[in-house]
Each structure stands twice: as structure tokens, then as C-alpha cells.
Amino acid sequence: MSLMDTSSRDGLWLRSAVDHYERGLTLYASRLLGDPDRALDVVQETFCRLCRQRRQDIEDHMAQWLFAVCRNIALDVMRKESRMKPLTDTRIASEEAAGPSPSQAMEQRDRESQVLNAIASLPTRQQEIVRMKFQHGLSYRQISEVTKDSVSNVGYLLHHALKSLREQLNTDPARPVRS
């Protein structure tokens, strides 16, 4: 196998990683920083660091590695600026599925707004864990690796966050809260 073959495969691997994780990392960094422009810079630096990693060292835990690096860079940015901004929720542009009536779409937007406002009222650590779990689909173990909390502490924080959200939203405890 030639060096060119290895280089080409690594390039495809990196392109695939960017395609798969860029949007989620950008949303995550944007919520941490409260600024979409700075979030793009953080995500760009995250992928630059990925380019400097050996594929075999992180391939089996890439999601955790990317979110942890992104988080650390975002925290460094906030430390350098010596100011913490409150997390703000920005509307996520998404394609609408064909079918819902205007009233159904409005009800859905109202419910999403209620959920986002309820999430914003949670303590910062709980907000972060809820978003990683439900918006980015990370497992407890992956969240643990990103936040450096134990898996049981992640579960504890998530349990209390969901309990608080249920109380705020007056939902049935048997029905999961989704964001």
C-alpha cells in the first residue's frame, strides 16, 4: 500500500467526520458560547486538532473525543474573554416535513418553545447534559467522557433535570420529555 492510498483514505475519513459531526458540534459550541460566529471558530479548531490525530487512536470513540475537544476549546475561549455569557437558545433551522396543518405547526412550535425555555431554566450542568443526551444522541458513557463526570453522576443529573422539566411542563411522568 502506498503513502498516497493511506493519505486518500485518511482524507475520506476526515471528510466523513466533518459531514457527520459538524452541525452537532456547531450547535453544541453555540449554546456553550452564546455566539454562533465564535462557535464556528471553535468547531474549525476542533477539526484542525482531529487532523493532527492518528486515526487509529480515536476512531473507536470519535464522538466523545470531538465533543470533549470542542467543549475544552469553548471553555478556553470563555476563560480568555474573562466573561461568562448566559446560554441562549437559538432557533434551529430545520426542514419541515410535509403534512402538518398550520395550527399543528404552531402548536408544535409553541411546545418546542416551552421545552427550550424550561431547559434554559435548568442549572448549566443539567442543561449541558440534557442537550448532549437528547439533541446530540450521546450515551451516558459518552457524556461522562466529555464532561469528566462519572456515569452515575451523569444519570443523577439527567434524572433531576428530567424531573424538573416534567414539573415545569406538567407532563405525564410515564411519557419521556424530548427537546
Q: Which of 45-49, 93-97, 166-170 has the highest mean pLDDT?
A: 45-49
Considering only 9-13, 16-20, 50-54, 80-84, which range has the smallest mean pLDDT? 80-84
| Domain housing 112 | 102-169
Task: Give pLDDT, residue 93.
Answer: 40
**Within a domain: residue 46?**
yes
Same structural domain for residues 73 and 19? yes
Average pLDDT over residues 94-119: 73
Model pLDDT for residues 59-101, shown as the tens digit of each residue? 889 999 999 999 999 989 888 875 545 555 444 444 444 456 6
Same structural domain for residues 14 and 71? yes
How far apart are alpha carbons 106 and 49 in whole angstroms? 42
CATH number of residue 155's parent domain: 1.10.10.10
| Structural domain count, the chain | 2
Q: DSSP string spanning 38-67?
A: HHHHHHHHHHHHHHTS-HHHHGGGHHHHHH
Q: What is the DSSP letter of 59?
A: G
Amino acid occupying residue 17:
A
Q: What is the pTM of this model?
A: 0.55
Phi, psi of 138 (to 5 degrees): -80, 150
Same structural domain for residues 65 and 135? no
Query: Measured between alpha carbons, how far apart are the two ends of the chain, in Å?
Result: 47
Same structural domain for residues 121 and 65? no
Average pLDDT score over the chain: 81
Which is more confidently placed, 9 or 162? 162
Same structural domain for residues 76 and 127? no
